[in-house]
Amino acid sequence: MKTTATDPAALPLTAADPLRLTLVVGSNRHGRFGPVVADWLLGRIRDRDDLVAEVVDVAEAALPMSLEPTPEATAALSGVTPKLARADAFVVLTPEYNHSFPAGLKNLVDWHFTEWQAKPVGLVSYGGLAGGLRAAEHLRQVFAELHAVTVRDTVSFHNAGASFDDRGALRDPSGPDAAAKTMLDQLVWWGHALREARAKRPYGG
């Protein structure tokens, strides 16, 4: 379909336009806790006027593990890849499985390359005593290889199940809310800087 000058999708973004953020929910395990954390995080994102969010959920993507361009893979990617491609920034939410991040999340990452390039990534983790931080540190190495920029500060939930009540609300939101604000502030700074840079000079990595 042709776009015209009046089509918002055809207009260049300006510094005043909110960043398009894709939240990646990285767990597909039965009985996972990730949606509870994701709902809390989306609330923090939607409180801001400098971010517009959409979600990619690994559990709903149903990507094959074999990186072959089959019709099934193409169909699954059609609901995922556009959300990654149009994002200015990402937040990746991960649990920690065996000192690292889940295979389903790695599979989603590996199906894509240019979609991550020259874009910032914020990391939110949850788990037991370690709070998923080992998974987050492993993700930093993966995203560096993909020419993405992970922001310095993270949000982590130690003993995450005890941090939320039965309604999915944080028992003590002060610390996590402050950590989320810091991470999202950094993400917004990098998101605008890299969006402007990509507009001026396409990334050649």
| Domain assignment of residue 11, yes or no | no
Cα gap 55→13, rounded to integer Å: 21
Q: What is the pLDDT of residues 167-182, one digit of tens each?
A: 999 999 999 999 999 9
**Model pLDDT, residue 12:** 57
Residue 1 domain flag:
no
**Structural domain of residue 48, as residue ranges?**
20-199
From CA 76, how far away is CA 189, in angstroms rounded? 32
Q: Look at residue 68 and tell me if it is in a domain.
A: yes
Residue 4 in domain: no
pLDDT band at 22 (very low <50, low <70, confident <90, very high): very high
Question: What's the token pair of residue 189?
Answer: 């700074």
Q: What angle do CA 15, 123, 191 make, to 5 degrees?
A: 10
Query: How many other C-beta atoms can be found within 10 angstroms of the C-beta atom of residue 14?
Result: 9
Q: Are 111 and 143 in contact (CB under 8 A)?
A: no
Q: Are 27 and 102 in contact (CB under 8 A)?
A: yes
Question: How high does pLDDT run on average in the chain?
Answer: 92
d(Cα 59, Cα 109) in Å, to the nearest integer? 14
Closest CA to 180 of 149, 198, 157, 205: 157
Task: Provide the domain count of the chain.
Answer: 1
Number of residues written out for the chain: 205
| Residue 122 buriedness (CB in 10 A; 0-12 / 13-18 / 19+) | buried
User: Do the domain assignments include residue 14?
Assistant: no
- 130-134-136 Cα angle (round to 5): 115
CATH number at residue 56: 3.40.50.360
Q: Per residue in 25-82, pLDDT tens?
A: 999 999 999 999 999 999 999 999 999 999 999 999 989 999 999 999 999 999 999 9
- Which residue's structure tokens are 């402050």? 178
In a domain, 59, yes or no: yes
Q: Residue 94's beta-bridge partner residues?
A: 125
Position 7 in a domain: no
Give the model's pLDDT for residue 6.
Answer: 37
Instruction: Give the pLDDT score at 16.
Output: 80
The encoded tokens of residue 147 equal: 């020419």
